[in-house]
Amino acid sequence: MVSGRGSNLRALHEKAPEQGYVIIGVVSNNPTAPAVDYARDQGLAVRIVDHRQFATRDAFEVALAAELDDLAPDVIALAGFLRVLGTDFVGRYRGRLLNIHPSLLPAFPGLDTHRRALASGARFHGATVHLVTDAVDGGPIIAQTGLTVNPGESPAALAARVLTLEHALYPYVLGGFARGETSDR
């Protein structure tokens, strides 16, 4: 599931053969997302459920679930999906929803993680893959990877370095998860 530029989707797609999983489709809430263009260019099935076309989050999530159920994935990887998912939706896919977050959770859940990490004086920062629960970025942690924050580093520079970590971590974890190698299910 994607909303944005698609760099994590690209990493997941490129590393799928070596990690032993198959991307059967891409679902987006943003019809103009660069991730959608990438998915189409790669011949992946694309489903659009534009959240702006629904009066309520519940109605959006019912339509989103219908598209996911039609694709019938074993695992759902949120890769820059920029919507908070409700309790019923999360419950429907409990144990099968993964997310990548640009911090070493539980530190800095939510948005603007790099600026917040720098402002706090954090010496270490990184990325976390976790199961999605009702709590934003609060689900069980599956794996993390980190780096040392450089003195005087800008949020943009830190974000770029963490994104490199994400692109290595997420495909690796998704492969293990898809093969049942994690005990967090």
Structure tokens, 149: 């924050």
Give me the helices (H) in 20-154, please.
Answer: 34-41, 57-71, 87-92, 113-120
Q: Which of 101, 125, 130, 167 is catalytic?
A: 101
Catalytic: 13? no
Helix (H, G, I), strand (E, B) or coil at 105: coil
Q: How many CB atoms within 10 Å of residue 130?
A: 23
The answer to whether the CB of 111 falls within 8 A of the CB of 78 is no
Radius of gyration of the chain (CA): 16
The answer to whether the CB of 50 falls within 8 A of the CB of 27 is no
Q: What angle do CA 3, 165, 34 make, to 5 degrees?
A: 25
Structure tokens, 13: 């797609």
Give me the helices (H) in the chain, please.
Answer: 7-19, 34-41, 57-71, 87-92, 113-120, 155-178
Q: Which residues are designated catalytic?
A: 101
